[in-house]
Amino acid sequence: PPGRPVILEIPLEKIRRPLMRTRPNDPNKVKDLMDSIAQIGLQVPIDVLEVDGHYYGFSGCHRYEAHQRLGLATIRCRVRRGTKETLRHHLR
């Protein structure tokens, strides 16, 4: 059975974003997050799924973009282990 999620700092480029959103992020929300992350760090980790050593992110689009724009190399993630079946479920 899958274990409890663990919190890890993961390099941004290691996180695959299979569902890159069709609509753009809200730039004001990204800007607010950038200010907050620069001052106090990321408060709520993004959720990622780990399947066979690969990380997949389906949410946290604004937080992810804020990290990219700040030029940060890693992002704090709540990692859940999954199977290819779990991944297929998310991709439906």
Question: What sign does the dihedral 35-42-73-20 (CA atoms) show?
Answer: negative
* Model confidence, pTM: 0.89
CA distance 8 to 30: 22
Instruction: Indicate whether 37 belongs to any domain.
Output: yes
Q: Can you say which residues are annotated as belonging to the binding site?
A: 60-63
Q: Is 80 exposed, middle or buried (0-12, 13-18, 19+ CB in 10 A)?
A: middle
Q: pLDDT tens track of the chain, all 92 residues?
A: 556 889 999 999 999 998 776 778 999 999 999 999 999 999 999 999 999 999 999 889 999 999 999 999 999 999 999 999 989 988 87
Instruction: Indicate whether 28 belongs to any domain.
Output: yes
Total domain count for the chain?
1
Contact at 8 Å (CB) between 18 and 56? Answer: yes
Instruction: Indicate whether 27 belongs to any domain.
Output: yes
Q: Can you say which residues are annotated as belonging to the binding site for ATP?
A: 60-63
Instruction: Indicate whether 29 belongs to any domain.
Output: yes
Instruction: Indicate whether 45 belongs to any domain.
Output: yes
CATH number at residue 74: 3.90.1530.10
Cross-strand partners of 80 = 49
CA distance 52 to 8: 16
Tell me the residue range of the domain where 56 lies: 6-91
Instruction: Indicate whether 71 belongs to any domain.
Output: yes
